[in-house]
Amino acid sequence: SSLRLCSPRPVREASVSEPLSRPPRTASLILVKEQNGVQFTSSALVSPSGQTQPSGEERETWGKKIDFLLSVIGFAVDLANVWRFPYLCYKKGGGAFLVPYLFFMVIAGMPLFYMELALGQYNREGAAGVWKICPIFKGVGFTVILISLYVGFYYNVIIAWALFYLFSSFSGELPWIHCNNTWNSPNCSDLNSTLLNDTYKTTPALEYFERGVLHLHESSGIDDLGLPRWQLTSCLAVVIVVLYFSLWKGVKTSGKVVWITATMPYVVLTVLLLRGITLPGAIDGIKAYLSVDFLRLCDAQVWIEAATQICFSLGVGFGVLIAFSSYNKFSNNCYRDAIITSSINSLTSFFSGFVIFSFLGYMSHKHNVALDKVATDGPGLVFIIYPEAIATLPGSSVWAVIFFIMLLTLGIDSAMGGMESVITGLTDEFKFLHKHRELFTLFIVVFTFLISLICVTNGGIYVFTLLDHFAAGTSILFGVLIEAIGISWFYGVDRFSDDIQEMIGQRPGLYWRLCWKFVSPCFLLFMVVVSFATFNPPKYGSYYFPAWATMVGWCLSISSMIMVPLYAFYKFCSLPGSFCDVTYAITPETEHHLVERGEVRQFTVRSHHTSSHRTAKQTRLQQFNG
């Protein structure tokens, strides 16, 4: 290993308008140790008296900048980019849907994405630890950690399904082509018939998914789950093992895995597009995808769907962006990263639509039915409709293997991001876990595996649907709303902008500051209200969940949101001062000594930079009366 001492960052000279006993910051030393291509940083503040105040233990950083970018892109670009956005675009006005989508992307998506990257990079902690800047809001950190944990319970199951399909594709004839299998029902009708016009018939692909893979016919509902299926359990175990060995050494291992998992989907999507556009009916499918119907913009539901898609597609609110950026070098340009990665995510969604609708157009042409009959979203698109289309191609087994490898890589890096959020968030908050990172990672993945077993039972799809409906719906919108309020209105947009300037050398423009303070919080508040107002009870196909199941779902959702008031109450009780005194609770932990002295913290900090002339910048910090 090699050691090198970096130049200290410029130090501000403080001129105060009121007497202060706080010693000024005179130096910031950053020690960088490089081992096996991975850098570890350790910083300290030196006071005038010569005493050193450690600001934290060694923290590894990404070996290469591209490792971070690929990790963020890999997390943000997931299965929903393939099965959700193209369908929404087609159903909600085609090309016209891009108007509200891009509008919400600019006013809310990108600003929130940028905010989380900057928050994690500056404070160099996970989702909970970053709230040392405003302790009363630390509960929102535990909210997003819980949400990521809940999502892992069912998201890994999707990857297990893809792995099951991948194994099944290594055969001379795909098992979802004919109706002569043991799992088929009398209603099954082969692909060659015009069964899509017959509501009483089912396709081999549908029966393979629901009866051959899930064994749904052996369950009468969510209160009749049965035992885990050994085939799916085995696939789930393989997924968990892959996740563990991708995460056990931190970004040292995950940063290398994403070189494959984040890039492979683009290669496969391109190959599938080149094949898809040669199929009969493909051009008609793409035309339907892009057809512009501006009248749909008068429909409020179109705007709500666009806003919802932005909220969930970028991955804001899971704590993953905070965790990933906390391993960046302090001076990394997080602004540029936010623009690049959020743009790539949206472009990928748009690009995948061409791939999907070229095949849907082919299916529509082959069965001589309207595109509406074959167009769908969700798991049904990638596990029923798309495999059915692939099964009709020459060399179908090869195309199936390629497609399900893409699904695996799309899912794995998103699952890695979710687990990294949990692991980093908790190990940063509970320092004793740092020394046992590998053991704690093993505990998290095994715990996730055990809970996920419920989703691979005969009735597991009902539990899956319930989790998908409640784990990261209203709760994640609520979490990001509290996060935005905490940073913009309590920590302060001006102070947050100073932090960013300290990192990248330039202050965020007026546009970003206005979005953080007014536009994004209002947008998120609107989305929370809409999510409550438009709530529909979960259902799977024609099965409606009993009332008790819906109540369990709401309890799951509330269990993460309630961390915000619970932690705030705990903080009020545990901090010095009277219960009603919020000064400690909303003051950064590094400045609690000022509150202890009962000082009025209203002063001006001036930074002097010498070039052709001297310029001064005034920064107004929060004011509290002790």
Residues at the binding site for Na(+) are 74, 76-77, 81, 313, 345, 410, 413-414
In our burial notation (b when 16+ CB lie closer than 10 A, e otherwise), range 570-594 reads ebbeebeeeeeebbbbbbbeebeeb
Of 148, 465, 101, 89, the residue nearest 308 (C-alpha): 101
CB 141 within 8 A of CB 440: no
β-strand 52-54 against 38-46: which pairing, if any? antiparallel
For the chain, the residue count is 626
DSSP states along 90-137: HHTTBGGGHHHHHHHIIIIIHHHHHHHHHHHHHHTS-TTGGGGGSGGG
Question: Which of 161, 146, 251, 288 lies closest to 212, judged by CA?
Answer: 161
Q: How far, in Å, CA of 327 to CA of 215, rounded?
A: 43
Separation CA 166–CA 272 (nearest Å): 16
User: Please, what is the Cα angle at 457 between 454 and 460, to 5 degrees?
Assistant: 65
Select from 244, 148, 155 the least CA-distant residue to 442: 244
Q: Which residues pair with 4 in a beta bridge?
A: 32
Give the list of residues 6+ apart from residue 277 with CB closer than 8 angstroms, or none: 283, 286, 354, 358
Q: Determine contact, residues 583/597, Cβ cutoff 8 Å.
A: no
CB neighbours of residue 21 within 10 Å: 8
Using CA atoms, how far apart are residues 4 and 407, in angstroms rounded to an integer?
43
Cβ density class 428-462: b for 16+ within 10 Å, e for less: bbeeebeeebeebbeebbeebbebbbbbbbbbbbb
| Tokens of residue 338, six digits | 């936010």
Is the C-alpha dihedral spanning 438, 441, 445, 448 positive or negative?
positive
Q: Please report where in the chains the tokens 């929404």 appear, as a residue.
A: 88
- Residues 476, 319 contacting (CB under 8 angstroms): no
DSSP class of residue 538?
-
DSSP alpha helix (H) spans, 248-299: 251-261, 264-276, 282-290
Measure the N-to-C terminal CA separation of the chain; round to a whole number of Å: 49
| Residues in contact with 97: Cβ distance below 8 Å, sequence separation at least 6, in sequence order | 88, 89, 296, 302, 305, 306
Are the C-beta atoms of 583 and 462 separated by less than 8 Å?
A: no
* Distance (Å) of CA 609 to CA 152, 520, 606, 614: 48, 33, 10, 6
As annotated, the binding site includes 74, 76-77, 81, 313, 345, 410, 413-414
